[in-house]
Chains A and B, each alone.
Chain A
Amino acid sequence: MIPLSYYLLLSGFLFACGVAGFLIKRNIITIFMSIELMLNGVNLSFVAFAARWHALSGHVFVFFVMLVAAAEAAVGLAIIIAVYRTRETLDVDRMNLLKL
């Protein structure tokens, strides 16, 4: 019997790590991995709540979140490859084409 709040704390910690990585990282691939980390944190809280209230819908939601994450990873990595081809860099500080 583990308190539900421990799972929520771990989930919140993972989400916070994702947000921190999203903000402080400079490499666009690492930023992308931080987004995956955030999605994983949310998934953990979904599963914890599903186990607490015996609701199978939580598992289905986690399934959908994973599918959307997979689609997003595919499209995002394709965008990264296209950007790298034109700009020759992965540094988000140098992707300032829209800047005046």
Chain B
Amino acid sequence: MCVAGAVNLLLQRHPINSALSLIVVMAALAGEYLLLGAEFVAAVQVIVYAGAIMVLFVFVIMLLNAGVEERSAGSRVSWLLGIPGMLTGSLLVAWVLLRHAGTETVKIGEQFGPPRAIGQLLFHEFLLPFEVTSILILIAVLGAVALATKPEKPVEGGSR
């Protein structure tokens, strides 16, 4: 389901369809996190990604009235070199992963990663990165507001 959503994101031409398939990918990933026992991360994934970020994306798509994108044909060299190169690269990576990491297994449904322990870790060992991230978020909010507001007219009663 996750794979289908990701492929659909590439194939769709309209951005709103891509956004919806990205939501599918994120929901499927949240399910994966739950299976891996990371309930806190799954909750944050649903709230932050599927909630906030995707609402932002859909809002901007609606706001800018984004239409169907036109496709440009790539050059012949990119077709000739890119597809075999991509296939060999991905097959090589898959082969190495399946061959050399086959013994490591992950238990499914094992409860691990309770929010309390994550909170303890976050506010003791990772306190400085946490605070720095809060400042980063503040700067991001200010920057977003400063960028997205309409620029005011520089000259009063001038060129209009």
Contact = CB atoms under 8 A, between A and B. Distances in A.
Given A12-B97, A43-B45, A84-B64, 20 more contacts: A3-B106, A7-B32, A10-B2, A13-B3, A13-B6, A17-B6, A24-B10, A27-B66, A33-B22, A37-B6, A40-B26, A51-B110, A52-B106, A57-B121, A63-B40, A68-B133, A71-B139, A71-B140, A79-B147, A81-B63
Given A29-B61, A36-B53, A91-B69, A3 B136 contact: no
Given A54-B112, A93-B72, A70 B64 contact: no
B129 A4 contact: no
What does DSSP make chain B's interface, helix, strand, loop or mixed? helix
Given A51-B36, A70-B53, A77-B56, A17 B105 contact: no
Contact of B106 (A4, A36, A70): A4
A73 B57 contact: yes
19 contacts: A7-B106, A9-B94, A16-B90, A17-B6, A20-B10, A37-B6, A51-B107, A51-B110, A54-B112, A57-B121, A63-B41, A63-B118, A67-B137, A73-B57, A77-B60, A78-B143, A79-B147, A82-B147, A93-B72
Contacts of A93: 72
A36 B22 contact: yes
B41 A62 contact: yes
B36 A78 contact: no
Nearest to A16: B90
Interface of B: 2-3, 6-7, 9-10, 15, 18-19, 22, 25-26, 29, 32-33, 36-38, 40-41, 44-45, 48-49, 52-53, 56-57, 60-61, 63-64, 66, 69-72, 74, 86, 90, 93-94, 97-98, 101-108, 110, 112-113, 117-118, 121-122, 125-126, 129, 133, 136-137, 139-141, 143-148, 150
A91 B67 CA distance: 10
Interface in A1-58: 1-5, 7-10, 12-14, 16-17, 20-21, 24-27, 29-30, 32-34, 36-37, 40, 43-44, 47-48, 50-52, 54, 56-57
A75 interface: yes
A71 B108 CA distance: 32
B45 A66 contact: yes
Residue of A30, A50, A74 most packed against chain B (CB within 10 A): A30
A95 B41 CA distance: 37
Nearest to B134: A67
